[in-house]
């Protein structure tokens, strides 16, 4: 992608190229000169530089990620401004996102399990810190060259119990409709099981190559999340076993109390359904330090 900032220097970072553009930011690959390392630099677009809502969301993402130190959550290195535009500097993930993997069709089941056994403990760890992601989707799971999977983009995350500034939405409809839980689509109070639903939508998509609910408008997709039962994953991908289908459909239950209460439970059920060796995924401590198995975290209220 061409961009006027390519080749320029921003506070000690040389902008090398554009990684991607979203509604809220442009992400660049950059060289941090002081550390001689490649990083990802996420910059607010110029048209939003005077928009308090977008600036506060940037600030909120930095504040939230600073609370989360887990080996499968992308860390933030730096936060500054360039010409009045805030930017975040993060670990650069050189293998792109899970969304890019989906361009070649559904993933192999062992690959899906490998991804989920990494991001599930990371998500439960965030939940123990009272952080709801609220925008889990394949584009927000990044990959490294060694097969590592990392959660990223906490820009619309919510910290339960925190009061945030005006303009930041903590209730109401916010997120990507294709991955919203029914309660999120209705603007209801959320707990961690809303993120579990999004993991279920992702699981459906990774296993079949399609999202469970598709329509012409975001609104109609949100309505389907509330009112329509998902199709059978095996009707799309007949190679899936009934056991795997049951895991997917349980994670997509309309009533939150009927879903898996935590992400590790979903990942372990998927691993059993795939007939892969089961191991402990309770390494949810900062830096991924492994600890003995303990009772699973309870749903956040």
CA angle 99, 105, 111 (to 5 degrees): 70
Nearest CA to 264 out of 223, 293, 235 is that of 293
Taking the C-alpha atoms of residue 128 and residue 68, their distance in angstroms, rounded to an integer, is: 10
Burial 42-58 (b: 16+ CB within 10 A, else e): bbbeeebbeeeebbbbb
Assess whether 135 carries a catalytic annotation. yes
Taking the C-alpha atoms of residue 270 and residue 111, their distance in angstroms, rounded to an integer, is: 12
DSSP 8-state symbol, 172? S
Strand 85-91 and strand 37-43: the pairing is antiparallel
Nearest CA to 119 out of 283, 291, 296, 301 is that of 283
CA distances from 169 to 60, 142, 162, 163, 230 (A): 11, 25, 12, 10, 28
- Cβ 81 vs Cβ 87: under 8 Å: yes
Taking the C-alpha atoms of residue 173 and residue 259, their distance in angstroms, rounded to an integer, is: 21
- Measured in residues, the chain has a length of 301
What is the token pair recorded at 280?
């402990």
Phi-psi region of 187 (alpha: psi -120 to 50; beta: other; left: phi over 0): left
Question: Per the residue annotation, which of 124, 135, 153, 195 is the catalytic one?
Answer: 135
Residues classed as catalytic: 135
């Amino acid at each position: 992608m061409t961009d006027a900032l390519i080749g320029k220097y921003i506070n000690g970072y040389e902008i090398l190229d554009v990684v991607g553009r979203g509604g809220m930011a442009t992400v660049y690959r950059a060289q941090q000169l002081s550390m001689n390392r490649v990083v990802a630099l996420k910059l607010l677009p110029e048209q939003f530089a005077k928009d308090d809502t977008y600036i506060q969301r940037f600030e909120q993402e930095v504040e939230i990620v600073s609370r989360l130190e887990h080996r499968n959550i992308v860390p933030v290195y730096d936060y500054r401004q360039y010409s009045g535009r805030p930017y975040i500097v993060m670990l650069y993930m050189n293998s792109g996102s899970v969304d890019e993997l989906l361009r070649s069709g559904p993933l192999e089941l062992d690959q899906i399990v490998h991804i989920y056994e990494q991001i599930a403990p990371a998500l439960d760890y965030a939940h123990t810190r009272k952080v709801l992601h609220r925008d889990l989707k394949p584009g927000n799971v990044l990959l490294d060259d060694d097969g590592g999977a990392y959660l990223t983009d906490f820009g619309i995350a919510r910290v339960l119990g925190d009061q945030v500034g005006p303009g930041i939405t903590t209730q109401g409809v916010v997120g990507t409709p294709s991955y919203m839980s029914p309660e999120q689509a209705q603007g209801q109070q959320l707990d961690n099981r809303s993120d579990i639903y999004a993991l279920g939508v992702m699981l459906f998509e990774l296993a079949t190559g399609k999202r469970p609910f598709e329509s012409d408008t975001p609104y109609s997709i949100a309505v389907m999340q509330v009112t329509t039962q998902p199709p059978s994953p095996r009707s799309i991908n007949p190679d899936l076993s009934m056991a795997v289908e049951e895991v997917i459909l349980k994670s997509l239950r309309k009533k939150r109390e009927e879903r898996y209460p935590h992400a590790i439970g979903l990942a372990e059920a998927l691993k059993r359904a795939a007939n892969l060796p089961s191991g402990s995924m309770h390494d949810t401590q900062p830096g991924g330090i492994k600890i003995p198995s303990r009772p699973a975290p309870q749903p956040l209220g």
